[in-house]
Amino acid sequence: MVAWNNFDKLESYKALNETECVDIAKVLTADRVKNYSVPMAAGMVYNYAAKQVDDKILDLLSKLSDEAELVEKYQELYNGAVINTGEKRLVLHQLTRGQLGNAVEADGVNKRDFYVEQQNKVAEFANKVHNGEITNEKGEKFTTAVQIGIGGSDLGPRALYLALENWAKKNGCFKMDAKFISNVDPDDAAAVLNSVDVSKSIFILVSKSGTTLETLTNEAFVKDALAKAGLDASKHMIAVTSETSPLAKSSDYLAAFFMDDYIGGRYSSSSAVGGAVLSLAFGPEIFARFLNGAAEEDQLAKNKDIRKNPALLDALIGVYERNMLGYDATAVLPYSQALSRFPAHLQQLDMESNGKSVNRFGEQVDYQTGPIIFGEPGTNGQHSFYQLLHQGTDIVPLQFIGFKNSQIGTDVDIQGSTSQQKLCANVAAQIVAFACGKEDENKNKNFEGGRPSSIIIGEQLTPEALGALLAHFENKVMFQGFVWNVNSFDQEGVQLGKTLAKKVLAHETEGALSVYSDLLNI
């Protein structure tokens, strides 16, 4: 059995606190850039040469990993231990893309078999839509898939769809447009519905419980639009939900695909939550390739050698930055327009998982836990918030993501270089500029440097690379939660606002809540 101890009770905590961080401006040599690199799945690499660590600190981080039994805790997780202590649940999202260890049984079934069965059902349904076996009431093919969901039912699937949209069009496997409705703001649903032909749209309602207020409200909005168009909503809607939800056996849907309580929303993109929309948009084969990339990266996370385990190393360096160096935030900066919504997904993944101030046993912790996550694609971000990153009073660690080749595979030469070369030149320049800075007598133009960063580099953003990226960050967040001894798999912080909102709508308010309700004309 593994031991669950607070971070500050470990011997490694004290040892790490007594270290001095590395001056990256002095150590960032060509050899260091070549050597401080770890292979990832799908031919990618995690390079941490511009981080404030050296071999001494890495050795201490390795001891921390051993002392905190991080890989052993991962083994417990994928072998079916009750890791989600808050809700007394298993944590099985990795099982949607492969068998990592022992067979896991829950609810009387083999869970790997269950997830594969749902993937096969999604694949069969998507193929029937694509070949015209399932059509609208006029016998016309569906041309658009619209996902209705919020939080993990929206952010991950939306980010993944956008990440592969241009790649799929270039490679001849683009099947259907996909749109997403998430916000309960009626302007969101109206904007999507005004942009599609509802008669040729298939709507995917995603709600594990079948009771999510925002999602059911938007479903009603969509059903109203279908009715006004003279269409039978039950011929245009499918559900992704749990087997025990009120949606599971409803005649309101063409089909229902199931997930379970062992997969949290923000970890659900590799389940039917992402599988339905991605399989409809690109075909089941592309979704399978995405899962393969994630499964390959999950296997790397089993390695106890932190120098050969990219997610574990990334996690431990992040802990060192958060707890020993006192950095409050991390910026995720993909130099790929296709990953435009990936930082938003990672923001939920990280902040909802490790934004906790009590440990797994409900006891207050005396150290910092999850950082603030934000980000935008480069080079857009360079013309937005990089000013603060370069010359502000706070140091913000940076997570770059870059690819050697674009998804479109074609480019034009402009002023002696292609657009892709200009993009890659910018990310290389930013890493060195942040790390090394530039002295200038004019303090307005002085750059202190010492801003740490890492970069994940791949050949091209393919389905396999995208799966590996997703799994890398899921596993990074998991390992950090293990270090901090928090439960990374519940999210009680989202519940209080929901409860109060229901009181407002029921006009059961008093005090400040009543006045705010009046101010908003509720």
**Token representation of residue 105:** 């049984």
Helix/strand/coil (H, E, C) string of 114-141? HHHHHHHHHHHHHHHHHCCCCCCCCCCC
DSSP letter (8 states) at residue 282:
H
Q: Where are the beta strands (DSSP E) in 271-345?
A: 329-335
What are the residues whose beta carbons fall under 8 Å from the beta carbon of 404, sequence distance 6 or more? 424, 457, 458, 459, 460
Asked if the bond preceding 215 is cis, omega within 30° of 0, the reply is no
Annotated catalytic, 141?
no
419-423: list long-range contacts, CB under 8 Å, 24+ apart: 423/335, 423/378, 423/379
- Determine which one of 14, 498, 502, 508 is catalytic: 498
Distance CA 263, CA 208 (A): 10
Annotated catalytic, 498?
yes
Rg (CA), the chain: 24
How buried is residue 412: exposed, middle or buried, by Cβ count under 10 Å (0-12/13-18/19+)?
A: exposed
Closest CA to 213 of 274, 283, 150: 150
- Determine which one of 69, 352, 464, 474 is catalytic: 352
What are the residues whose beta carbons fall under 8 Å from the beta carbon of 339, sequence distance 6 or more? 159, 162, 163, 377, 401, 461
Distance CA 426, CA 223 (A): 47
- Determine which one of 34, 249, 308, 383 is catalytic: 383
Sign, Cα dihedral of 3, 9, 12, 13 = positive
Name the pairing type of β-strands 177-181 and 201-206. Answer: unpaired
Biggest CA-to-CA distance, the chain: 73
What are the residues whose beta carbons fall under 8 Å from the beta carbon of 218, sequence distance 6 or more? 148, 181, 182, 184, 188, 189
Strand-by-strand arrangement of the 45-47 sheet: 37-39, 45-47, 453-458, 398-403, 329-335, 372-374
CA atoms within 13 A on the CB side of 92: 27
Q: Check if the beta carbon of residue 283 is closer than 8 Å to that of residue 270.
A: no
**Token representation of residue 224:** 């109203």
Residues labelled catalytic: 352, 383, 498
